[in-house]
Amino acid sequence: MFRFNYHTHTYRCKHASGTDEEYVLAAIEAGYSILGFSDHAPYRDFPSDRSHMDIEQLDEYIASIDALKEKYKDQIEIHVGLETEYFPWNHEERVEIGKKVEYLLLGQHYSDPVGNEVNYFKINTDEEMLQYGKSVCEALDTGMFRYLCHPDVVMNRQEAFTPACGEVAHMIAKKASELDIPVEVNVRGVAKGRKPFGEKEYYFYPHRPFWEIMAQYPLRCIVGIDAHRPEDLLETELVDEALNELSGLDLKFIDEPIM
């Protein structure tokens, strides 16, 4: 069913591995008909240099994917995009960078780019949770993004599902459904295993309590591999497990290309 993936990274983001061509070959081996590259977009001024490609790499990145698009055109359809955060103060820069590629994905990993301590991969306060939801909704309102990556990423290290967590899930689902912007079920969290959460255990993401609220809205959903290694594209069992984790929820998955 899910023979396309638009969430693929490259070594340029400094926390992925493998050559661009190795990702393409893995996707072909796994039977994908479409592979979209969406590495972490560069910034001209970002204190953390461990999460994004350098601005000087952008043109080379696009040229590399375009060359593979031509080389393997008879075997697989390839697209070039970027995953990026949204910060109001550099919106024009995102617009400018977005014009260079075919699509942008929204992945809101940071509340503000002033260092790794402000990323959402930690235990977040209710105030930080709500700021995440507000930022995501503001970003979706721009109309810049093809879809929202891992809407539940903010649950990554939480230890309890507070009312603020539920409010954020409602905020995002309501906005995405109103704008008809797909939301991603990201399977990468399955590879990290389950972790204790109250009296139960859940995956980092997809985080079922979060999605139980999301499923109350008429969303369009899409599976994202979030590949950081070529072999990630071959681990199709992670897709099955992620979907099994959300079984019984009224989620409508896109089963055709979005480009």
pLDDT per residue as tens digits for the range 146-169: 999 999 998 887 888 899 999 999
Q: Give the pLDDT score at 116.
A: 47
pTM above 0.85, yes or no: yes
Phi, psi of 51 (to 5 degrees): -125, -10
Tell me: pLDDT of 228 over 90. Answer: yes
Tell me: pLDDT of 238 over 90. Answer: yes
The tens digit of pLDDT for each residue in 111-130 reads 765 554 566 667 788 888 89
CA–CA separation, 26 and 17 (whole Å): 13
What domains appear along the chain, each with residue ranges and CATH number?
4-253 (3.20.20.140)
CA–CA separation, 91 and 95 (whole Å): 6
Quickly state the pLDDT bin for 50 (edges 50, 70, 90). confident
The tens digit of pLDDT for each residue in 21-48 reads 999 999 999 999 999 999 999 988 765 5
Q: Does 206 sit behind a cis peptide bond, omega within 30 degrees of 0 on the bond before it?
A: yes
What's the average model confidence in pLDDT over 50-66? 93
